[in-house]
A and B are shown apart, each in its own frame.
Chain A
Amino acid sequence: QKEVEQNSGPLSVPEGAIASLNCTYSDRGSQSFFWYRQYSGKSPELIMFIYSNGDKEDGRFTAQLNKASQYVSLLIRDSQPSDSATYLCAVNTGGFKTIFGAGTRLFVKA
C-alpha cells in the first residue's frame, strides 16, 4: 500500500463545473496536508495546506480533511481550462518527511 494514494485520472470536467479530487494516506500520525498543482513540464506550486479537521476555503478552492478516515480532498469550483494540470496531494508526517502522491490529472473542457 502506498503511503499517499490518489486516483491517477484523468478527471475530465466541463468548464464551470466543480472538480473533486481525493487522496487517502496511511500514516495516522500525519500532521499537515497539502495540495500542489503541477503543470506539464513545470514544478509543483502550492495551492493550499490544511492541518485540522474540517474545511478550509481559499477563493475557488476548498480543502477538506478527515483525520479519522485518513482522507483529504480538494474541491475546485467554477473550473476553468487553466485549471487543467496534475494535482499532487502531499502529507507531512513530522519534521522533514513530506510524502507525495503520484497525482491526479485534471482536464477542464472549454
Chain B
Amino acid sequence: EADIYQTPRYLVIGTGKKITLECSQTMGHDKMYWYQQDPGMELHLIHYSYGVNSTEKGDLSSESTVSRIRTEHFPLTLESARPSHTSQYLCASSATRDPGVGANVLTFGAGSRLTVL
C-alpha cells in the first residue's frame, strides 16, 4: 500500500501552460526527491530536499522548481511547459538511518506521466 501519493497520474497539456505536480508522503520521512525517467532510461535526480525550507537542484538540469513548506508535501512546478518536458516524473522519500538499517532506501510514488503538446 502506497504511503507516498502523486497527483495527477496522467496529464496532457498544451505548450506554455503552468503545471504543478503534487507529492505527499505520510511516513514522516525527512528527505524527499523528484526523479525524471524516460522509457528505457535511467532515473535522473532533478530536485531533492533534506527537510522543511531546504531544496536543492539535482544533477539533471531542469526548468522546474520545488518547494518544501511542510514535511509531508513536496510539489514540483513548471511555469511554462514545453514538449521537451514530456516525461515520467517520480517522487520519492527516504528516512535518515544508518547504512545497516537502510540508509537512503527510496520509497517511490506511482508517478506522474506528463505529455506536453
Contact = CB atoms under 8 A, between A and B. Distances in A.
Interface string A83-98: 0000010101000111
A34 interface: yes
A100 to B, nearest CB: 4
A1 interface: no
Interface residues of A, number: 25
Contacts of A31: 99, 103
Given A96-B31, A96-B33, A102-B40, A43 B90 contact: yes
B27 interface: no
A5 to B, nearest CB: 10
A67 to B, nearest CB: 13
A1 to B, nearest CB: 14
Contacts of A44: 43, 90, 106, 108
Interface of B: 31, 33, 35, 40-43, 45, 48, 50, 56, 58-59, 90, 99-100, 102-111
Given A4-B42, A88-B43, 5 more contacts: A2-B42, A36-B106, A43-B110, A96-B31, A96-B50
